[in-house]
Amino acid sequence: MPDNTRTTTTPPSSPATHTMVDGGAGYQLPVFPFVTPPELAGAAPRRYPIVIVGGGLVGLTLACDLATRGIAAVVLDEDDTVGVRGASSRGMCYAQKSLEVFDRLGIYERLLAKGVHWSVGRTLADADEVYSFDAKTASVSAQVPFLNLQQFYLEWFLVDRIVELGLTDMRWKHRVTGAVRHDDHTVLQIDTPAGAYAIEADWVIDATGANSPLRDYLGVPIQPEHGTDRWCICDVRFKKPLPAERWTWVAAPFNEGRAVWQHPMADDVWRLDYQMAPDCDPERVSHPDVARERVRAHLGEDVEFDMVWIGPWHYRTQMLDHFRLGRVLFIGDAAHAMSPFGARGGNSGIQDADNLGWKLALVLNGNASDALLDSYSSERRAAAAENITVTKRTARFLSPQSDVERLLRDAVLSLARTYPFARALVNTGRLSVPNRYPNAAGIDGAGESRQNLPVRTPRGPTTLARYSLSNGTRLLALYFPLNKNDATAAQLRAHQDKWPLLHIAVCAPGADLDDGGAFAEAPGTLLLLRPDLYRAARLLAPTPEALDHVLAAALAQPLETTA
């Protein structure tokens, strides 16, 4: 149960018209106005190209992605605010790949200004540090390794950006009450304050979360597996000076030997997440008086603090067999749910949107067949399966399920105090990284994500993600010449009309694109990047014929259609 303490959030500068509402103790949320839809205002019925059901983190990310590509969508959300009333803190740790996506969408600078970025994590057993890392050491991205920010702020910024782009029809207080799927469209039944109506869509995206009603309406089965862990979040504001780092206790002496996470967030708030006994009473452990005693034991008797928000939680694991059902696509928790260990929950959904957006844009523009959307399902389902496996291992480390598992866990912690080899076995959450996708058609170098490098172009400095988007929803071919007399790029460009979905740039000082050496590709190499900055191929001594082959694989098209 939430605490009744009031604190004030700092509202972001916002062009979107809204009022404010109490989003649960400590947080104020924007309220967006209900607007009577055209279907209830006498307009003739029409079919929409894309309807996204669910205006949460993942649905908004996809809508914003599509808008940056010039694709209009309708977003239906049953509420009229961001976050969740009474539980608005929710997700808060965003990994570098997600931040790279938000750089392309145009909101990264706002996130960076509002949130707290970090790269150092420390793991402790009792009072001893047994493992630490600094994610910055392996990063060449323009974005920071991790940024902590209450989820409702991120959703708020996405709404503002969507309004700014002007293509998306945001329909607040629109609750979907039924769905009927046809071969070439889906009909949704919708309830609103002004009455009920039906809407037709060529493509429907289910972004309604783990408890998706749309799955039920369409008869899509899913089998949840509930975790035995119980946790209690305490969002707390205090003045004790602490570094902007992630601290994790595997066995905290101040929490009865159970795990604890400690993260800084915006507005000088800290996320303190406490593992509870499996048989605990959620109402009791989240009672304000009980939670205060827990925080006091953590911070020390002499530290004054304010409780901002309290919430118990547990997780479940579930995944659909297929993320595509004809012209309905499932995204985020509607497609898969997992424990949030390692920040693999919300970040996984954001990267679903990153994978799906450019593919939908190509299909709607007639530049690719809908077979390309099958690759969304195969790639992101493989990513979800990997994330579920990783988070399950973390759960077993934090909550051993047998005496043998506990003996092994405790042995790892004991050895890690002295021996470096054991520190890699300490598992308090393998942090979210871009998943590698199945290698399409055996293409060399396909399936790996590239970091969003700062680059220099004739139009000035930018990032790789923005540079890619500035050339439209096209694949980006980066050629690394053998020398200044290498004519390969010119030969490829002479045939560029064959590939309307390709932009060719040269990575050399004084040419179209210069990364300052961060790509580290061998001279004579062509690197083919998808719009989501995943490698589609790496070609040595590229020829037009070889490029035809890898483009066909990347776009899920027969080879002859690239000509």
| 305 shares its domain with 341 | no
- CA dist 276 and 386 (Å) reads 27
Q: What is the pLDDT of residue 87?
A: 64
Strand partners, 117: 147
pLDDT value at 472 more than 50: yes
Of the residues 347, 369, 389, the one at which a domain ends: 389
Residues in the chain, total: 563
Q: What is the pLDDT of residue 225?
A: 86
Q: What SS3 class is residue 391?
A: helix
| 159 shares its domain with 299 | no
Identify the band that residue 98 occupies on the pLDDT scale cut at 50, 70 and 90. very high
Q: Where is pLDDT greater, at 494 or 91?
A: 91
Q: What SS3 class is residue 436?
A: coil
Q: Model confidence over 332-359: pLDDT tens digits? A: 999 999 988 888 999 999 999 999 999 9
Taking residue 130's Cβ as centre, other Cβ atoms within 10 Å add up to: 21
| 458 shares its domain with 381 | no
- CA dist 520 and 516 (Å) reads 9
Sheet strands side by side (includes 336-337) = 225-226, 316-319, 336-337
Number of domains, the chain = 3
Burial state string for 352-374 with b = 16 or more CB within 10 A and e = fewer than 16: bbbbbbbbbbbbbeebbebebbe
Identify the band that residue 517 occupies on the pLDDT scale cut at 50, 70 and 90. low
Range in 11-25, 184-198, 335-349 with the lowest mean pLDDT: 11-25
Range in 102-116, 375-389, 437-451 with the lowest mean pLDDT: 437-451
In a domain, residue 198? The reply is: yes
The residue assigned the tokens 């009455």 is 195
Of the residues 283, 314, 345, the one at which a domain ends: 314
In a domain, residue 60? The reply is: yes
- Determine the average pLDDT of the residues in 304-312: 92
- CA dist 46 and 27 (Å) reads 39
In a domain, residue 110? The reply is: yes
Q: What is the pLDDT of residue 487?
A: 86
| 197 shares its domain with 88 | yes
Identify the band that residue 511 occupies on the pLDDT scale cut at 50, 70 and 90. low
pLDDT value at 44 more than 90: no
* DSSP class per residue in 322-357: -SEETTEEE-GGGTEE---GGG-SHHHHHHHHHHHH
Q: Is there a contact between 425 and 412 (Cβ–Cβ < 8 Å)?
A: yes
| 78 shares its domain with 218 | yes
pLDDT above 90: percentage of residues in the chain: 66
Nearest to 107 by CA among 57, 71, 73: 57
Q: Is there a contact between 339 and 317 (Cβ–Cβ < 8 Å)?
A: yes
Of the residues 261, 283, 314, the one at which a domain ends: 314
| 310 shares its domain with 351 | no
Parallel/antiparallel/unpaired status of strands 454-457 and 74-77: unpaired
- CA dist 541 and 524 (Å) reads 6
| 214 shares its domain with 331 | yes
pLDDT above 70: percentage of residues in the chain: 91
Q: Is there a contact between 342 and 427 (Cβ–Cβ < 8 Å)?
A: no
User: Kindly report the CA angle at 276 between 228 and 429, in degrees rounded to 5?
Assistant: 70
CATH of residue 512's domain is 3.40.30.120
pLDDT value at 25 more than 80: no
pLDDT value at 318 more than 90: yes
In a domain, residue 424? The reply is: no
- CA dist 298 and 275 (Å) reads 13
pLDDT value at 400 more than 50: yes
| 162 shares its domain with 284 | no
Q: Give residues with Cβ within 8 angstroms of 249, minimum separation 6.
A: 123, 124, 125, 126, 255, 259, 260
CATH of residue 107's domain is 3.50.50.60
Q: Where is pLDDT greater, at 41 or 17?
A: 41
| 214 shares its domain with 252 | no
pLDDT value at 5 more than 80: no
In a domain, residue 17? The reply is: no
Identify the band that residue 127 occupies on the pLDDT scale cut at 50, 70 and 90. confident
In a domain, residue 349? The reply is: yes
pLDDT value at 220 more than 80: yes
Amino acid letter for position 355:
N
| 185 shares its domain with 254 | no
Domain extent for 533? 441-562
- CA dist 515 and 424 (Å) reads 33
pLDDT value at 232 more than 80: yes
In a domain, residue 415? The reply is: no
| 345 shares its domain with 309 | no
In a domain, residue 190? The reply is: yes
Q: What is the pLDDT of residue 29?
A: 86
| 355 shares its domain with 373 | yes
User: Phi, psi (5° rounding) for residue 223?
Assistant: -110, 105
